[in-house]
Amino acid sequence: MKALLAIVAVTLTAACSQPETVNSAAPAYDADHLATSSACFAESPARLLEPGQTLLERGPDGVVRISSLVAGRAEDLEFSIAEMPDASRQALDAAAADFFQAAGAAYDVTRDTVIYHRATDGTLCTVTGDRAIGRPLLTIARTLSGSE
């Protein structure tokens, strides 16, 4: 019995001490190259975005902020979900969901295509420089704000 326990112990020790294999195709994470955006949670985010970027902030306060600096046009749009008609809220929610889904698909920790920040109150800020991701959200936001 002791011999059987010793064999199991040695086998488990050997299995747990094997070096992990690293996928050499994936680029290594570089802590010195963290994607950041000072536009997140700012008073006027559009002026802090880089050209071509779109920002979406959603939080527990029921406010949705959409900002962009596209084609030289800086925009800061804000919507209070609680005050919106149901059809408008659904359109904005659908566009935001599509934005988050596309941003998630494009996210790569080694590139600045998509940047995420979360505030301590739970507000999520997402910034993307991919105009194909930002364009549909901006179209709905402009239509709902009457600026289109």
**Which of 37 and 93 is assigned the larger pLDDT?**
93
| pLDDT cut 90: percent of the chain above it | 55
pLDDT computed for residue 39 by the predictor: 87
- Spatial CA neighbour of 121 closest among 39, 41, 35, 34: 41
Please state the rounded mean pLDDT for residues 18-26: 43
Query: CA of 43: how far to CAs of 30, 77, 89, in Å?
Result: 30, 12, 23
pLDDT at 116 over 70: yes
Instruction: Encode pLDDT of 64-91 as tens digits.
Output: 999 999 888 899 999 999 999 999 999 9
